[in-house]
Structures are given as C-alpha cells and as structure tokens.
Chains A and B, each alone.
Chain A
Amino acid sequence: MIEAVLSMGGLALAAGLGLGFAAKKFHVEGNPQVDNLTALLPATNCGNCGYPGCRPYAEAIAEQGETNIGLCAPGGVEVMEKIASLLGVEPVEMEVDPGPKVAFIREEECIGCTACIKACPVDAIIGANKQSHTVVADMCTSCKACIEPCPVDCIVMVAVPTTVYSWVWNKPEVLH
C-alpha cells in the first residue's frame, strides 16, 4: 500500500515539476501584432466591423486571416491606411466617405426608452427614462451602435455641416 502511494506521489510530483518548468521555459507571449493593431483602432468597441470589439477585430486581422482591413467605420480611411502601413499591405478601397456624419434623434418620436443610451460606447447620448433623448453631436463617433437598439427607429445619421471652423483649404488644382 505505502509503496503504491509513494510511487504514484513521486510520479505526480515529477510530472508536476516537469509541467511547471515547461510552462515557464516555453512560455509564448501573446501576439504583439494584436496589441499594435488594437492601439490603432478607436477602442470604442462599437462592433460596427462585425466583431465584438476592437481587440477581437485586431485578433481577426492578425491571427484569423481577416483580410479586409477597411471594416472600421469610425476610424475611417486614416486608420485603414495606418493598419495597411503596419502590416505592409496595400490600402483597400473603403466605401466612399460622403463626409462626417453623426447620429441624430428625432426627438418628437423618441419614447425615452434609454436603449440607445445603453448602446452608445462613448456616452454621447443624454436623456432620462421616459424623457426625450438627444445626441451630443460633438462627441458622436458615427459608429451607428445606437440605431439598431432603437425600438421606434427614430435615430438617423445626418451629415455634419462644414463651418468656418472645420473648413479646410482645397488642394490647388493644376490647370494644363
């Protein structure tokens, strides 16, 4: 009896030590590329790309063979280009960007259910239960996360008008 306990115990100890040693010795770091990609993405986890959040999208690109690097709508062309240069791949065509847009709540239709407030990843929607909500346009990242949860479909995306403060010079046109 005692021999059996000792031998089994000894074996278990040896195996445990071996495993512990192997875990330390052959430890594999997480894919650093995932971290690099995550740093580029907006980190708002809006899910607009089809993945549950920014990190999952980064993991998909780095490890699961997702080839479309242009899925991040809030990041836009700029983030796509950064990803392209990080990975050393060609930039992809993104859907033509008709200029910045923000979510807008048609307040007369809003029933005050707070569903969109809970959905907004950047806390850009304000309002209280059974009170009309509104989007703080300056804070909206145009991720569209609020549109789906709205039970009365009163949220629309509207274009942000250009003002003297956001206007930029056009590039000089070369006439030949």
Chain B
Amino acid sequence: MGIVASVLKKFHGGVHPPGRKELSEQCAIESMPMPKRLVVPFHQHLGAPSEPVVNVGDTLFKGDLLGSAGDGISAPVHAPTSGTIVAIEEHVVGHPSGLTMLCAILEPDGKDQWNPQLQGVDDPFSLEPAAVRDLVKSAGVVGLGGATFPSFVKLSPPRDKVVDLLLINAVECEPYLTCDARLMEERPLDVVEGIRIMLHALQTKECVIGIENNKPKAIAAMQNAVAREASGKDGNIRVVVLPVMYPQGSEKQLIEVVTGRQVPSKGLPIHIGVVVHNVATAVAVRDAVRFGRPLVSRIVTVTGQGITRPANIEVLIGTLADDVIAHCGGLKPGTCKVVMGGPMMGLALHQTNIPIVKGSSGILALTQDESSGKPEHSCIRCGSCVSACPIQLVPCTMAWFAKTEQFDQLINVDLFDCVECGSCAYVCPSNVPLVHYFRYGKLALQSKAREEKKRELNKQRTKLRDERLAREKEEKERKKEEMKAKMAAKKKGKGTETHGSEAVSGEESRS
C-alpha cells in the first residue's frame, strides 16, 4: 500500500534563493526576560476573530481565556502570562496596511504562573478522537507555519473522507528561518508524541515527516526519536529527506513531492486523502493535550545581517517586536527593512512596535544588499516567471490584468490558485512586483464580491420592507372595515339586543 511515492517527485518550477540559515542555525532556543507589557491581538488566526471575554482590571493566570472563538473556523486567544489587563484597545499589528486591531494589553506580574486548574491527559490514546480535537480547539492551536489556520479543523476530516497520510511539514523552505529546525533538534521526542496524538485524532496510521537536506542535525534527531519513540507502537512514522527547493514548504507542493499526486485547483489536501500540519504545530498539539496548556508562546527566529545577535527565542505571544529586537542587541546601522516571517513571503513592517502573534515565525533585519526594492521596469515577456511558478500559472499575464484593472479576467487565469510564494517576482529580470499585483487583484475582487453581497442584501431588505408596508396597509384597511362592520352591527344591534338577553335568561330558567 502506499500513498507515498517510492521515488520523490518534483513539482513544476521553484527557485533556489540563498539559504542564509547559517546566521542562526547554531543558536539554541532561548527564553527572554519578561517584557513590561504584552499586546495580545484578538484576531491572530485565519477565520472569524475571537470575542473578548475579559475586562480592564481583571487579574489572570497564564493560560486563562482572553477571547473566545467565534463561529465556525476560528480560535480562542489566551493570556500569555499571569498579570492584569490594563487596557483593551486598538493597537498597531503586523498587517500590511499598518492599521490597528483590538488588543488586550496585559501587564505581567512577573510570576508567570499557569492556571493550576489546567490539566492534561496522561494517556491521550484512551480518549475519543473528538475529545482530542476539542482539547486542541480550546487550546487555540493554529498552524504555526505562518498560515495560522485553526488546527482542529484539519484534525476533523469530513465523515465521507478517509485520511491516508498525515504529512508533517518540517521543510522550512523560507531562507533565514531556523525555528523549526532548532525545535526538531532540541525537542524531537515531543514532536513525535505530538504526531502520535494527531494520528490518533485523525484515525490514521501513516505519517511522513518531510525535511529538506540542508538540516542534517534535525534529520538525525528526528530519525533517532522516531526509531526510539514510535517503534513497536501504532502508526508508521517515517522521516523523508527532501532536496532543497523553494517553495517546497507550500502544502500542495510538498504533497506533490511526497505522494506524486496533485491537489486539484480550488481543492483541499483532504480531497486526495492527505492532511498537512507544521512540525511546530505537532508540539503545540502535544502541549495542549498532554498538559492542557493553550498556545501562548512560539519560537521566533531573529536574524538577518542587520541584527546584532541572531537568535532563536521562545517568545510569549504579545511580546512587541521592539522588545525582541532589543533583547538581540538591537539593529545595526545599515538595516533598511524589518520583515516579519520569511524573506520570500513575509511582511515588511511599517513600524516595529507590533506584537508577535501565533503566525510570526521570524523577525528579519535586512540590509540593503539582502533586500530587493529596485524600480519596476516593463515586462519583456521573457517567460521566466512562467517557468518558476510552482502552480503552473502565467504570472506575467495575471500581473498585466491586475495592472490594467481587468479584474474579471483575473478569475479566468486562476488568480486564486496563487499561493503568493514570490518565486515569480524572485526571478523577474524587470523587477515587476508580481506578488503585489496579485494581492492587489485578489483584495480588489474580494471587496467587489463583498459590495455585491451587500447590495444583494439591501435589495432583499427593501423587498421585505415593501412587503411589510403592504401588509400593514392591508391590516389597517381590514381593521377599518371591521370597525365599520362593528359600528354598523351596533346600530343594527340596538333593536336585537333585548332578544339576546331574553335568550340568556331563558337558558338559565331551563337549567
């Protein structure tokens, strides 16, 4: 049997940006001193925002609920440390707009004390899979690779689908980032335990951990751990070593490499029987299930030529990037850009007083020669982007439609299949900001769809209102008629009234 291909396949295109992992790959995961205050956004995940459930002045333990999950796809947010809520207000967050979002401002009490009521499960395998999912859901675990998709959703396959393979994404294909590699080197047993819990929740046996061959230490650590921890137990966990290629860490590309199957356009991995989770998510799932601990911290790689001391740090959610940078000795002169996430898909920050959130995998301080930013020239239709695109799209045409605002055409060229990996922009000899054009096109289309929906709702509301007014009018008419009839009956009734009373008295006399 095997959904896993015997020979690794290759996906279309891809690029080889310089890895630059040597800056931070030797840096062991450290912790940092407790910041003076934490800024915890209520919306750190894909899906509906969480609803604040705390008030200013509340004293909380570490792990207490700050915001409860919204409807459907959503995740709760928890207090990253013990302390007091000093404000609930708008604060700038790591968003391309540079705009604010509702955040809880927490002043730590310095004790960093977990809520003593938080309890884990010693033997997660005795639980029903649904119970495991509930634990993961209430712990606010989301995909830590950067997409922050709520993990419980991906652990709950639809009834009519069978999961053949759990694919653990330990590729870390973004240059610079080393947080996943360090995690595997330092906590390999926790990773394997997390994987086994996930396998149990998915009710499947097969698991592949995909790691690129530029992380030999992580590969060795994981192979050891798998041999020690998983042998003789349920489940077939394997480490698969992959050649280096960007964007191999993109879900659909990784699936293609490992299984040889392509996820259909607009489809999900589950449609071909695969579920993909990030390696750090596996550890978060383990902490949630075994110890009942919500996701309140994550490992962040702080690196780049512009940082004084590169590091891998376990950072509390809500720590300001400023505090993290200061802990690493600050920025060197010549730093021209600070990026949150990886250099290919990350977000250039407007300002650095923004909080670390569940999806922040890195803080990169880049110097002039590390960052792009050359002026855009005209597209020469060389086709480099077409050969580089891992989804086999035609980036130059897509950018042209976005540039000329032919938004309807963008749908025809499958804009929404683009994962914004940046391979096209990386190879473009004319420095066309292709991904920027795609984002511009996507949001323009989405906002158009939103407007359309709103207009449709307005039409419906007007219709309902007109119907209501008509009904009310009818009602009025009817009442008028009734009044008239009553009046008429009264006039007429004056003569018949006596008959009625006689009849009644007649009844009485009979009884």
Given contacts A166-B447, A172-B376, A174-B376, contact A43 B439 (CB under 8 A): no
Query: Which residues of chain A have C-beta atoms less than 8 A from B100's C-beta?
Result: 164
Structural contact, B459 and A43, CB atoms closer than 8 A: yes
Q: Does A122 contact B (CB under 8 A)?
A: yes
Query: Which residues of chain A have C-beta atoms less than 8 A from B444's C-beta?
Result: 168-169
Given contacts A43-B462, A44-B459, contact A168 B443 (CB under 8 A): yes
Question: A45 CB to closest chain B CB, in angstroms?
Answer: 7
Question: B434 CB to closest chain A CB, in angstroms?
Answer: 9
Q: How far is it, in angstroms, between the C-alpha of A95 and the C-alpha of B49 when the chains are bound? A: 36
Q: Does A170 contact B (CB under 8 A)?
A: yes
Structural contact, B97 and A45, CB atoms closer than 8 A: no
Question: A46 CB to closest chain B CB, in angstroms?
Answer: 9
Query: Which residues of chain B have C-beta atoms less than 8 A from A163's C-beta?
Result: 99
Q: Does A141 contact B (CB under 8 A)?
A: yes
Structural contact, B99 and A167, CB atoms closer than 8 A: yes
Using an 8 Å CB-CB cutoff, how does the interface string of B495-511 with A read, 1 for contact, 0 for none?
Answer: 00000000000000000
Q: Does B464 contact A (CB under 8 A)?
A: yes
Q: How far is it, in angstroms, between the C-alpha of A166 and the C-alpha of B448 when the chains are bound? A: 11
Query: Which residues of chain B have C-beta atoms less than 8 A from A43's C-beta?
Result: 458-459, 462-463
Q: Does A123 contact B (CB under 8 A)?
A: yes
Structural contact, B440 and A172, CB atoms closer than 8 A: yes
Q: How far is it, in angstroms, between the C-alpha of A48 and the C-alpha of B284 when the chains are bound? A: 56
Structural contact, B97 and A164, CB atoms closer than 8 A: yes
Contact of A162 among B97, B443, B465 (CB under 8 A): B97
Residue of B nearest to A46 (CB): B462
**Residues of chain B from 331 to 345 with CB closer than 8 A to chain A in the complex:** none
Q: Does B437 contact A (CB under 8 A)?
A: yes
Structural contact, B461 and A169, CB atoms closer than 8 A: no
Structural contact, B437 and A172, CB atoms closer than 8 A: yes
Q: How far is it, in angstroms, between the C-alpha of A57 and the C-alpha of B476 when the chains are bound? A: 31
Q: How far is it, in angstroms, between the C-alpha of A139 and the C-alpha of B403 when the chains are bound? A: 32
**Residues of chain A from 113 to 133 with CB closer than 8 A to chain B in the complex:** 121-124
Query: Which residues of chain B have C-beta atoms less than 8 A from A124's C-beta?
Result: 461
Contact of A164 among B93, B375, B463 (CB under 8 A): B93
Contact of B451 among A78, A139, A167, A175 (CB under 8 A): A78
Q: How far is it, in angstroms, between the C-alpha of A168 and the C-alpha of B441 when the chains are bound? A: 9
Q: How far is it, in angstroms, between the C-alpha of A88 and the C-alpha of B125 when the chains are bound? A: 68
Contact of A170 among B375, B405, B440 (CB under 8 A): B440
Using an 8 Å CB-CB cutoff, how does the interface string of A142-176 with B read, 1 for contact, 0 for none?
Answer: 00000000000000000000111011111110111
Contact of A169 among B93, B436, B448 (CB under 8 A): B436
Q: Does A47 contact B (CB under 8 A)?
A: no
Count of chain A residues near B, Cβ 8 A? 25
Residue of A nearest to B49 (CB): A165
Q: How far is it, in angstroms, between the C-alpha of A123 and the C-alpha of B99 when the chains are bound? A: 31
Residue of A nearest to B464 (CB): A123
Q: Does B318 contact A (CB under 8 A)?
A: no
Q: Does A42 contact B (CB under 8 A)?
A: yes
Structural contact, B101 and A141, CB atoms closer than 8 A: no
Q: Does B12 contact A (CB under 8 A)?
A: no
Q: Does B161 contact A (CB under 8 A)?
A: no
Q: How far is it, in angstroms, between the C-alpha of A170 and the C-alpha of B463 when the chains are bound? A: 36
Structural contact, B461 and A123, CB atoms closer than 8 A: yes
Q: Does B33 contact A (CB under 8 A)?
A: no
Q: How far is it, in angstroms, between the C-alpha of A78 and the C-alpha of B463 when the chains are bound? A: 22
Q: Does B96 contact A (CB under 8 A)?
A: yes
Q: How far is it, in angstroms, between the C-alpha of A172 and the C-alpha of B465 when the chains are bound? A: 43
Residue of B nearest to A75 (CB): B455
Question: B103 CB to closest chain A CB, in angstroms?
Answer: 12
Structural contact, B465 and A121, CB atoms closer than 8 A: yes
Q: How far is it, in angstroms, between the C-alpha of A42 and the C-alpha of B463 when the chains are bound? A: 11
Q: Does B480 contact A (CB under 8 A)?
A: no
Q: How far is it, in angstroms, between the C-alpha of A115 and the C-alpha of B439 when the chains are bound? A: 44
**Residues of chain B from 61 to 120 with CB closer than 8 A to chain A in the complex:** 93, 95-97, 99-101
Structural contact, B447 and A122, CB atoms closer than 8 A: no
Contact of B462 among A45, A164, A168 (CB under 8 A): A45
Q: Does B433 contact A (CB under 8 A)?
A: yes
Query: Which residues of chain A have C-beta atoms less than 8 A from B439's C-beta?
Result: 169
Q: List 8 A-B contacts (CB under 8 A).
A: A42-B455, A43-B458, A44-B459, A45-B462, A164-B99, A169-B96, A171-B402, A174-B376
A74-B458, A78-B451 given; name 10 further pairs at CB < 8 Å.
A43-B458, A43-B459, A43-B462, A43-B463, A45-B462, A169-B440, A169-B444, A170-B440, A172-B403, A174-B376
